Structure 1
Amino acid sequence: MTVLESSPEVLPQTQSILSRLLRRPLAIFGLAVIAIVVIAAVFAPWIVPHDPHEQFFEGLSIEGAPLPPDSTFWFGTDLVGRDLFSRLIYGARTSLIIGVVANGIAVLIGSMVGITAGYFGGWVEAVLMRFTDLMMAFPALLLAIVLAAIFTPSLWIVALVIAMVNWVQIARVLYTETRALAERDFIQAERAMGAGALRIMLRHILPHLVSTIIVWATLGIATTVLLEATLSFLGIGVQPPTPSWGNIIFENQTYFSSAPWLVFIPGAAILLLTLAFNLVGDAMRDILDPTQQGHH
Structure 2
Amino acid sequence: MAVGALLRGLVRRPVLFAGIVVIGCVVAAALFAPWLAPYAPDNQMFDGLSLEGAPLPPSHQFWLGTDTLGRDLLSRLIYGARTSLMIGVVANGTAVLIGLTVGILAGYFGGLPGGVLMRFTDLMTAFPALLLAIVLAALLKPSLWIVAMVIAMVNWVQVARIAYTETRSLTERDFILAERAMGAGNLRVLALHILPHLVPTAIVWGTLGIATTVLLEATLSFLGIGVQPPEPSWGNIVFESQSYFQSAPWLVFFPGLAILATALSFNLVGDALRDLIDPTQRGRD
Range class of TM-score, shorter chain: over 0.9
Q: Which amino acid aligns with 2:27?
A: V
1:260 corresponds to 2:249: yes
What corresponds to 2:259 in structure 1? 270
1:116 aligned residue: 105
Separation in structure 2 between the aligned mates of residue 80 and residue 202 of structure 1, nearest angstrom: 54
1:18 positional shift: 4.2
Distance 1:114 1:30 in 2: 30
- Listed as ranges, the matches of 1:1-296 within 5 Å are 12-14=1-3, 16-296=5-285
Q: Structure 1 residue runs of 4+, over 6 Å off?
A: none
Q: Give 1:49 shift.
A: 0.8
Count of aligned positions: 285
Which deviations, in whole Å up to 9, do the C-alpha atoms of 1:154-189 show, x marking residues without a partner?
A: 000000000000000000001001000000000001
Could you report, residue by residue, the CA deviation over 1:118-175 in whole angstroms, capped at 9, with x for unpaired residues? Answer: 0000001111000000000000000000000011000000000000000000000010
Q: 1: distance between equivalents of 2:78 and 2:13?
A: 28
Letter in 2 for 1:49: P
| Secondary structure of the structure 2 residue equivalent to 1:249 | helix
Q: Which runs of 5+ in 1 are unaligned?
A: 1-11
Q: Judging changes above 3 Å, is the alpha-carbon distance between structure 1 residues 18 and 128 closer, same or farther for their aligned structure 2 residues? A: farther
Q: How far, CA to CA, are the matches of 2:205 and 2:238 in structure 1?
A: 28
AA aligned to 1:51 is A
Alpha-carbon distance between aligned partners in 1 of 2:108 and 2:3, rounded to the nearest angstrom: 28
Deviations 1:203-232 (A, max 9, x none): 001111111111111100000000000000
Question: Is 1:60–1:77's contact at 8 Å kept on the other side of the alignment?
Answer: yes
Amino acid at match of 2:93: G
How far has the Cα of 1:23 moved from its partner? 2.9
Residue 6 (structure 1) aligns with: none
CA pair 99-15 structure 1, distance change in 2 beyond 3 A = farther
| Residues 21, 284 of structure 1: 8 Å contact kept | no
Deviation at residue 17 of structure 1 after TM alignment? 2.7
CA distance in 2, matches of 1:36, 1:292: 29
Question: Unaligned 5+ residue runs, structure 2?
Answer: none
Identity %: 72
Alignment check: 8 A CA contact 1:119 1:182 kept: yes
TM norm structure 2: 0.98
SS at match of 1:53: coil
TM-score normalized with structure 1 length = 0.95
Give the drift of 1:19.
4.1
Contact kept? 1:216, 1:281, Cα under 8 Å: yes
Cα offset for 1:62?
Answer: 1.1
Q: CA RMSD in A?
A: 0.9
SS in 1 for 2:97: helix
Q: 1:18 and 1:113 mapped to 2: Cα distance?
A: 34
Q: Is the 8 A contact 1:111 1:174 kept in 2?
A: yes
SS, match of residue 25 in structure 2: helix
Contact 1:118–1:175 (Cα < 8 Å) also in 2: yes
Structure 1 counterpart SS, 2:42: coil
